[in-house]
Amino acid sequence: MKQTNDVLTIAGRTFRSRLFLGTAGYPNRQVLLDAIAASGAELATASIRRISLAGEEEMVRATETLVARGFVVLPYCNEDPVTCRKLADAGAAAVMPLGSPIGSGRGIANPHLIELIAARSPVPVVLDAGIGTASDAALALELGCAAVLLNTAVAKAQDPMRMAAAMRAAVAAGREARLAGRIPKSSYAEPSSPQFGLVGT
């Protein structure tokens, strides 16, 4: 694969891997460490304390307050383009819309909204929650997300190390596909071979 200088920068930190890995729910510490190594992730997350906020305005105010106090804020939110834009305008270093309910493994429920958020966001978009398998991760990058944060899909897989490696490859493939530019979707067939000069024409 062609080597590029395609790196992700969030809050002044640069990452070559666009896969972020959560650290909860693994069978044991060694499996966690092996999965992180297999994933190639340069950023691993750990839950210390969760803060549940009732609505969009409360999330925006909390983001503004934390940013004013010197925190780097990467808010987890629903897949609403307006909410994501307000959080970015409030100072979030990235926005992290869900693909589907956390831990559900259902993939990206609303790909159009994720694509719209990625297209309009002035900060990186990190898909967070709902990833079930490698194709979900690839799709997130193809839709324009800057990165994917996942946990359960690897931690609860039958073979966490193999799934971590699959996610690593999927994220890389999804990013390359995004940069390559997919062909337009069409409602009609369009043969790729020439139509004239063939035997029988």
pLDDT tens track for 63-90: 899 999 999 999 888 899 999 999 999 9
CATH code of domain 8-180: 3.20.20.70
Please measure the distance between the N-terminal and C-terminal CA atoms of the chain and give it in whole angstroms: 39
Q: Structure tokens of 5?
A: 């200088």
The radius of gyration computed from the CA coordinates of the chain, to the nearest angstrom, equals 19
What are the start-end ranges of the H helices in 51-104? Answer: 56-68, 81-89
> Which residues, 6 or more positions from 195, have their beta carbon under 8 angstroms from its beta carbon?
201
Distance CA 141, CA 147 (A): 7
Query: What would the pLDDT profile of 19-66 be if each residue is shown by its tens digit?
Result: 999 989 899 999 999 999 999 999 888 877 666 666 878 888 988 999
Helix (H, G, I), strand (E, B), or coil: what is residue 193? coil
Residue 91 has pLDDT above 60, yes or no: yes
Distance CA 38, CA 53 (A): 34
Q: Are 35 and 26 in contact (CB under 8 A)?
A: yes
Looking at residue 59, its pLDDT comes to 85
Burial class (CB in 10 A: 0-12, 13-18, 19+), 166: buried
Distance CA 84, CA 117 (A): 7
Looking at residue 1, its pLDDT comes to 46
Query: What would the pLDDT profile of 114-133 be if each residue is shown by its tens digit?
Result: 999 999 999 999 999 889 99
Domain boundaries, the chain: 8-180
Distance CA 94, CA 146 (A): 9
Distance CA 108, CA 130 (A): 7
Q: Of 40, 56, 84, which Cα lies nearest the Cα of 175?
A: 40
Query: What would the pLDDT profile of 132-179 be if each residue is shown by its tens digit?
Result: 999 999 999 999 999 999 999 999 999 999 999 999 999 999 999 999
Burial class (CB in 10 A: 0-12, 13-18, 19+), 88: buried
**Torsion sign over Cα 153, 154, 157, 162:** positive
